[in-house]
Amino acid sequence: MVIIMRCFFCFIVSILLSLPVTAENSVLKKAELRVLDIGNSYTTGATRLLPLIAKASKADLSTMCLYQCYRSGASFKKWVDIYNDKDTKNTYSIKKVVGGLSANVQTGKGKAGDGKLFRDVLTNETWDLIIIHQVSTYAPYYSRWNTDSAAGYLDELISIIKEHQPNAKLGFLLVHSYWSEYSKNTEQSSYDRWQLIANSAKSFCEDYDVDFVIPYGTAIQNLRSSSLNNEYDLTSDGTHCGYGLAEYTAACCYYESLITPRCGISVIGNSARIDVSDKKSKYPSVNVTDENALIAQKAAYLATMDMYHCQNP
C-alpha cells in the first residue's frame, strides 16, 4: 500500500511540475537564486532539517542559496528596531541554511543595539526573494500588523526591504499555531488559531500582492489532523515544533515550496529519516521512520497545494 501511495503522489507531482512556470514560482527558476529569510525561532525550527532533506533528494542546489536572519521572538517591529539600532535587549544571527552559492554576507551574531550586520545583509547583496513572517504572538491578528504597537510596523519593514532591494520578490511564511492547551493560546484550539493565522496570511497576500508563501503551518495542521498527532499537538514546549516529525514536516514544506519548483524533485518519497531520541524537550519527540515519513511528506505537499484548508494526509 505504501508503495502504491508513493507512486501515485509521485505521478501527480510529475504532472504538476510539467506545467508552465507561473508567476508565483518564476523567480525560483532564475539561473542563480539568492533567498533571504527574515524571522525568528519558528524560522529556524522549520528549516533545521532542510539541509538533510535536500541532501537526501540529490537535488542540484549549486546555483542557489538560502540565508537566514534570526532573532528570538522577532516581530515585524523588532526587525525595524534592529535596523534602527533600537533593539537593545537581544542579539540576532545571520547564517547560511542551504545551497551552493555564497552571498556577500557576513554570518555570525549581531550585537544588541547594533543593526549594522542586518543592514549590511540588505545592502551588500542583491536578493531575488525575501521572506518575512509575523511572530507567533501576533500571527493570527492581521488587523494589528500595521498599528503603532508591538504587533505593528509591517509597512515600515517592507519599506526598508524595498529601499535596499527594490527588485526582490517578497514572500511570506505561514507559521504553525500553539498547542490547544498552551497558556498563551487565547483561542484554546490549535485548529482555530491556525485558521486565524491562515486567514491573516491570505489577507496579507491579497493586500500586498504577494504570491509566494511557504505554508508550513498548514502542513503542521494537516499532520495534526492525522493519527500521528499527540496530546501536545506535536510541539516541544506548547509553542515550537516538536523535534523530529513536526520539524521534519515543516522542512518538507520548505523544500516543496522553494526547491521542488526549481529542481523538479518532489519531497514525496524522500529518504531522509531522523532519530531524535537524544533530544531533550518538555514534551515527547517523535522519530521520523519509514512508517510515518510519507504521511509527513504528504502533509507538506497538500499544504503547498491548498494552504488555507486543513487536510488529513
Tens digits of residue pLDDT in 279-290: 989 999 999 999
Report DSSP state, residue 93.
E
Q: What is the largest CA-CA distance in the chain?
A: 56
Between helices 154-164 and 76-83, what is the axis angle to 10°? 50
Place of cell 523538479: 264
Confidence of residue 192 (pLDDT cuts 50, 70, 90): very high
Task: Give the model's pLDDT for residue 25.
Answer: 66
What average pLDDT does the structure give for the chain?
93
Collapsed DSSP state (helix, strand, coil) of residue 33: strand
Task: Give the model's pLDDT for residue 9.
Answer: 46
Domain 29-305 classified CATH 2.30.30.60? no
Place of cell 517591529: 77
Q: Does position 11 have pLDDT exceeding 50, yes or no?
A: no
Lowest mean pLDDT among 25-34, 79-88, 182-191: 25-34
**Average pLDDT for 243-261:** 98
User: What string of DSSP letters covers 153-197?
Assistant: -HHHHHHHHHHH-TTPEEEEE-PPPPPTT-TT-TTS-HHHHHHHH
> What is the share, in percent, of the chain residues with pLDDT greater than 90?
91
User: What string of DSSP letters covers 249-262?
Assistant: HHHHHHIIIIIHHH
Confidence of residue 206 (pLDDT cuts 50, 70, 90): very high
Confidence of residue 51 (pLDDT cuts 50, 70, 90): very high
- Cα separations in angstroms, 138 against 135, 144, 149, 175: 6, 8, 11, 11
Task: Give the model's pLDDT for residue 20.
Answer: 32
Confidence of residue 26 (pLDDT cuts 50, 70, 90): confident
- Supply angle C-alpha 289, 290, 296, rounded to 5: 75
Contacts of 183 (CB under 8 A, 6+ apart): 238
Report DSSP state, residue 225.
T
- Supply angle C-alpha 155, 306, 20, rounded to 5: 90
- Supply angle C-alpha 255, 20, 258, rounded to 5: 15
Tens digits of residue pLDDT in 126-168: 999 999 999 999 999 999 999 999 999 999 999 999 999 999 9
